[in-house]
Structure 1
Amino acid sequence: MDLDGLDALLAKLDRMDREIEGDVGTIVKNNTIEMTQKVVKNAEFTQGYQTGYTKRNIETKIVSNLVGKTISKSEHSGYLEFGTRFMDAQPFIFPGFYNQKKQFLDDLNRLVK
């Protein structure tokens, strides 16, 4: 049995895989940046904004081509996000995440259609 063009097919599939991975990386990067912007905007409305410390300590970190993170380095972010027994929660990270999640999935779906 002889299969003509198998090497060309495998090469084309490999090339398509690299192109899609690059496109996914761009989607991850852009959506992580957009999410960070939303989280920073949400942080304006927390009690921690009085000094601006929480807002200034939110950053984007691209870990790899397929992993991006929005991080709050403020020591009291957890208290603001989840609340304490003395203070109601004032979430600013999760609302940004859930808002951006829909856009991220839409962007990925557009890529595979």
Structure 2
Amino acid sequence: MAKLEVDGMENLLNELDKLGQKGSRIENTALKEAGNIVKESIVNEVPVRTGKLKENITVSRVKTKDGVKKVEVGPGKDEYYAAFLEFGTTNMDANPFISRGYENSREEAEKVIVEEIKKGLGL
């Protein structure tokens, strides 16, 4: 799982904490929007044979682990073969479409997070 961290977010996140419930909703919205940017980029990189994998790239609900919020973007559990495509097998070369999609969208996702938080804070 790739990890996305935005530099200079400390002050914005502190302001969100002060807002409590409203701040949490703003943060959730920002994460979902950034997740959708990454999802679209991954969908554009998916190798297509039947189209089923492309249709099943999803953005999870916002999850919190060890006090850190996140969304997960990738294929659903039924698309187990995505790992074979991403990492390759002894009989097949890797085609890291998830990694490419993430790298292609990373900067835009970071910008969306900052924009959504600023918008939610009225800045």
Q: TM-score, normalised by structure 2?
A: 0.62
Q: Percent identity?
A: 23
In 2, Cα distance between equivalents of 1:31 and 1:93: 15
Q: Which gives a bigger RCO, structure 1 or 2 (Cα 8 Å, sep 6+)? A: 2
Gaps spanning 5+ residues in structure 2: where? Answer: 1-14
Gaps spanning 5+ residues in structure 1: where? Answer: 1-12
In 1, Cα distance between equivalents of 2:37 and 2:88: 25
Within the alignment, does 1:39 sit opposite 2:42 as a pair?
A: yes
Which residue number in structure 1 is paired with residue 19 of structure 2?
A: 17
Which residue number in structure 1 is paired with residue 83 of structure 2?
A: 78
**Contact persistence 2:28–2:62 (CA under 8 A):** no
1:72 Cα shift?
0.7
1:101 Cα shift?
2.4
**Contact persistence 1:42–1:93 (CA under 8 A):** yes
In 1, Cα distance between equivalents of 2:49 and 2:33: 29
Which residue number in structure 2 is paired with residue 95 of structure 1?
A: 100
> How many residue pairs are counted as aligned between the two chains?
97
Q: TM-score, normalised by structure 1?
A: 0.67
Q: CA RMSD in A?
A: 2.7
